[in-house]
Amino acid sequence: MSQVILVSIAMAAAIVVSVVLRRRTVDAPTQGGYQMPTQLDRGDFASPETPWLVAVFTSSTCDACSDVATKAMVLASSDVAVQRIDYVDDAEIHKRYKIDAVPTLVIADHRGVVRNGFLGPVKAQDLWAAVAECREPGSTPEPCEGHSPHSH
């Protein structure tokens, strides 16, 4: 009979411990999403007099970054400055604009207002269409699908 009582007490203790531990467990906090800057100081970047800037924030340890930068470089023209900003070489610029994920690519107008952008890998045709749409709204068959930092 004493064994039944001991087993009952042990089971009750296990249940109490289980309930207490469940109440102590805190749900993980909701993770915030990465964000792109909405405004740039064009003086921080190459060719501030150029009407458009494609700024590609990268890291030398990121494989996708090289791919995005290569796709962006094709856009360089007299109207579009393209600049790669690598974290190792330009950490202060990354910190100033709170770049917390790479690759981050932004398309900014002559005043530095970010008109569109991409976080992560991007298809060449999507990037090129986004720049075309920024430069001449309505020039692409389908308007850009919400990559604007103003919609986040």
By CB neighbour count within 10 A (0-12 exposed, 13-18 middle, 19+ buried), where does 137 fall? Answer: exposed
pLDDT of residue 4: 72
Distance CA 111, CA 104 (A): 19
Q: Rounded to an integer, what distance in angstroms lies between the CA atom of residue 56 and that of residue 39?
A: 14
Per domain, the residue ranges of the chain are 42-151
Residues with Cβ < 8 Å from 94, sequence gap 6 or more? Answer: 57, 85, 87
CA 36 from chain center: how many Å?
6
Q: Provide, rounded to the nearest whole percent, the portion of the chain with pLDDT above 90.
A: 64
Among residues 23, 87, 32, which one has the least CA distance to residue 57?
Answer: 87
- The pTM of the full predicted model, rounded to 2 decimals, is 0.73
Contact call for residues 136 and 118 (beta carbons, < 8 A): no
- pLDDT tens, position by position, 1-60: 777 777 678 777 777 777 766 666 556 555 567 889 999 999 999 999 999 999 999 999
**Rounded-to-10 torsion of CA 43, 110, 106, 142:** 180
The class level of CATH for 42-151 reads alpha beta
